[in-house]
């Protein structure tokens, strides 16, 4: 019991010393300056706000896209695809999206004789046509480069569109993207 009383006494004395130190600090010019500075609005920190700039563009593989049914992942390729894989679909209406934070974005794809058509839009804005056809197969080909964008979060959407009726369906084949934060 004596030990318990002694512990409470030590805790009470310790708390009293801390309170006395705070009161003393606040009574000094330095203490008042700290309180005044704490009351001034300062820079706000937000995890969803502006992101730090990077020296180099950010590169992501095709696995960064969110997509529904109608897409297939091609993996284990050694033909020059960004990360050895790509995301492809030949089904009209199939859509894949990617959210990014930056001022510009570029989409790379696999083009070739089996290439199809698509559309790209940023933030639901104007639609631009994409063409994945080429007489010869080529990987990591620049398919789309955005105009300058406001430095903020954006959403890029790629949708497969039908080819003319006289031709066989072709693939929209996304290799990867590169964006400027």
Per the domain annotation, does 118 fall within a domain?
yes
31 and 62, same domain (yes or no)? no
Verify that 79 and 161 share a domain, yes or no: yes
* Domain total of the chain: 2
Residues 72-86: what's their mean pLDDT?
91
Q: What is the CATH number of the domain that holds 139?
A: 2.60.120.260
The pLDDT score that the predictor gives to residue 169 is: 80
The structure's pTM equals 0.68
Burial (CB < 10 A; 0-12, 13-18, 19+), residue 81, is buried
For residue 64, the enclosing domain spans 58-180
Q: Give me 23's structure tokens.
A: 């009161």
From 142, 101, 138, select the one nearest 122 (Cα to Cα): 101
Q: What is the full DSSP assignment across 77-89? A: --SS-TTS-EEEE
pLDDT of 39 higher than 80: no
């Amino acid at each position: 019991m004596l030990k318990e009383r002694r512990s409470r006494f030590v805790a009470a004395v310790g708390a009293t010393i801390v309170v006395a130190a705070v009161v003393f600090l606040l009574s000094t010019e330095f203490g008042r300056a700290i309180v005044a500075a704490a009351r001034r609005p300062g820079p706000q920190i937000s995890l969803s706000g502006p992101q730090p700039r990077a020296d180099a563009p950010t590169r992501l593989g095709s696995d960064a896209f969110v997509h529904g049914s109608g897409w297939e992942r091609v993996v284990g390729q050694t033909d020059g695809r960004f990360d050895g894989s790509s995301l492809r679909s030949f089904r009209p209406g199939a859509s894949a999206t990617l959210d990014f934070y930056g001022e510009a974005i570029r989409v790379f794809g696999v083009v070739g004789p089996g290439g199809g058509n698509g559309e790209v839009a940023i933030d639901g804005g104007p639609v631009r046509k994409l063409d994945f056809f080429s007489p010869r197969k080529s990987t990591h080909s620049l398919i789309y480069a955005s105009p300058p964008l406001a430095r903020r979060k954006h959403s890029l959407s790629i949708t497969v569109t039908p080819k003319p009726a006289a031709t066989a369906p072709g693939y929209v084949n996304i290799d990867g993207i590169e964006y400027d934060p």
